[in-house]
Amino acid sequence: MTDTTTNETSAAPRRYVVTGAASGIGKATKDLLESQGHRVVGVDLRGSDIDADLSTGTGRAVLVPAVTAAVGDTIDGVIAVAGVAMPTSLTVKVNYFGAIATLEQLHPLLVRSDAPRAAVVASFSALQDNDPNLINLLRGGDEAAAVERADTIAGNGRGDLIYASTKRAIAEWVRLASITLEWASAGIPLNAVGPGVILTPMTEELLRTPEGREGLLAAVPMPLNGPAPAAKIAQTLAWLTDADNTHITGQVLFVDGGADATIRGPRVFG
């Protein structure tokens, strides 16, 4: 006898919210989910379904009413992709506080789903040099102090540490939040994806020359197939937020062509 019920849940159309949906990984994720027949509400600074500046409290407050107006009071998946890589405090506001606000504020709409799922984009940079003081402020949830620290770092010429600090902190937040009553006990897998070098207009410029490619891959070595297109990250995000994912949570899945294994080696299990 053929089992015709195996994939009924995952095959059903789902309702997603994807931030950063106007370009890059966010756009690739929105496009992929829509091609699978799902309803996707894109959020970005401009050029998507909902215009919202996630670096501000006002912009974050737009999310729930705008999403509710678009698809009602129930959503099945939230994918927080929106992020910037600027050596300024804007990166703190968007990458950490904007991402957490997205997930927490849309949580009440998620819990109404029969198969709620959530994911956020971290980075391989979570494993790179950072500013411990900034990370501690992010852990404590003090946005004003974290912004001030980031401004100080940038003023001292070390703005390059800000991005990695935000990605380390958001990866840590996922691991902490994922096993709480709010997420695990509500049946919501919460995970992160950590991309390595992704093919974007910015990185493609660097990769055009042997010197640029060598420098980029020295920082993020990717022995398996090299830099990845955004669509590969989209596929991973779609898989993590599919209804079939019932037990993977609290993970930072590095889609990095082997960069993590190359840099940290095998002895990472305590």
Active site amino acids: 163
Are 128 and 163 contacting, i.e. CB atoms less than 8 angstroms apart?
no
| E strand intervals along 190-233 | 190-195, 198-199, 228-229
| Cα-only R_g, the chain | 18
Residues 130 and 185: their CA atoms lie apart, in Å, by 33
Residues 101 and 107: their CA atoms lie apart, in Å, by 10
Q: Angle CA(35)–CA(41)–CA(43) in degrees, nearest 5?
A: 120
Are 40 and 18 contacting, i.e. CB atoms less than 8 angstroms apart?
yes
Count the alpha carbons within 13 Å of 95 in the hemisphere toward its beta carbon: 30
Residues 240 and 70: their CA atoms lie apart, in Å, by 24
